[in-house]
Amino acid sequence: MAECKTGVCSGYKAEDIINERPADSQKSSDIKTNEEPVYNQGKVGWYWYEIKPKKPEPEKEEKQKQKPGKIPKSELTVDNYSYDQLWNMYPDEFQKLFKKTTKTAVQSPTEKNVINHLLMQDIARRKSMAFASVVGYVGQKYPQFSNADVHPTVVPGRHALAQVQYDEINQAIAGASNEFALIMFTQSGCGFCDTQQAILKFFTNNYNWTVRIIDINEHPGAAAKFGIEQTPSTILIHKGSQDYMPVSSGIISAEELKHRVFRTINLMQGKTTPQQWFRYDYEKNTGGDPLTFISNTESK
């Protein structure tokens, strides 16, 4: 190496000093000679629409999670009965299981117990809807099982029904005035008797019926003959025969008296039976007659 004096090294040129590098620096430079500098790589990066590749994500295990508010039908079971078995279960057995699940849910209101209770309740509700639907369907398809022809439910029909019944009752009672009569048993000091006697008077004025008033104290034999022990009591007798039937005991309204007389007349004339006590004549051979079944081909 050249000897330096006064800070000036002899034997060296300026460019030699500039180009002189330490050994480590030279080694580092040699290592980077195979790599292209970043500023010489050209148009790369996001600015030049180069999308950086995504790193592959690790595979996740797919877990089947139950969605809130939705339980698969296959999981709807009670005491190892499937949903279909519960749906087709005999009513007595179903009711027994229904009571059991209800009591279990009340005693121990866990999520599972309450679900079982609500499941049984839901099936019962749906079965009721299904039954009611089929009843409506069959009633419309087979009219012989319905009495809508004589018992309408709409308001105009109800008005028409009331008029038909009113006319039939009045005609039957008025037409039987010569065949039947009423006997009312009373006694002195009976305030209820006076009231019922006034109601009977209203009845006779409308239908021109014969009504006889008998005091049981004055005619104990007549009272004993008809089995009368309390007043006021009214009976209907069939003129020219021994047939009679009690109509009322105590006070009844004029409207109720009219209906009872009408039904008694029909029975004693043989038009109806005790099983048809509430039947009107217009209901004969219809769905309103309990002893008549109307089929598509014949009447029984």
Tokens of 96: 């027994």
Residue 31, pLDDT above cutoff 50: no
Q: Residue 45: what pLDDT?
A: 65
Return the HEC string of 234-274.
Answer: EEEEECCCCCEEEEEECCCCHHHHHHHHHHHHHHHCCCCCH
* Domain 155-283 indexed as CATH 3.40.30.10: yes
SS3 content of the chain, % helix, strand, coil (to 5): 50, 10, 40
pLDDT category of residue 193 using cuts at 50, 70 and 90:
very high
Interval 26-53 mean pLDDT = 57
For residue 249, report the phi and psi dihedrals to the nearest 5 degrees: -135, 115
Q: Residue 78: what pLDDT?
A: 87
**Three-state SS for 196?**
helix
Residue 274, pLDDT above cutoff 60: yes
Contact 105, 113 (CB under 8 A): yes
pLDDT tens, position by position, 132-176:
999 989 988 988 887 888 888 899 999 999 999 999 999 999 999
Please give the share of the chain, as a percent, with pLDDT higher than 70: 74
Please state, in angstroms and as integers, the Cα–Cα distance from residue 235 to each residue in 30, 153, 199, 222, 223, following that order. Answer: 138, 35, 14, 12, 11
- Look over the chain and give the mean of its residue pLDDT values, rounded to a whole number: 82
Residue with tokens 């009373």: 186
Q: Kindly report the pTM of this predicted structure.
A: 0.63
- Boundaries of every domain in the chain: 73-136, 155-283
Contact 182, 155 (CB under 8 A): no
pLDDT tens, position by position, 60-106:
544 455 556 677 777 778 888 998 999 999 999 999 999 999 999 99
Q: Which of 13-22, 143-152, 179-188 has the highest mean pLDDT?
A: 179-188
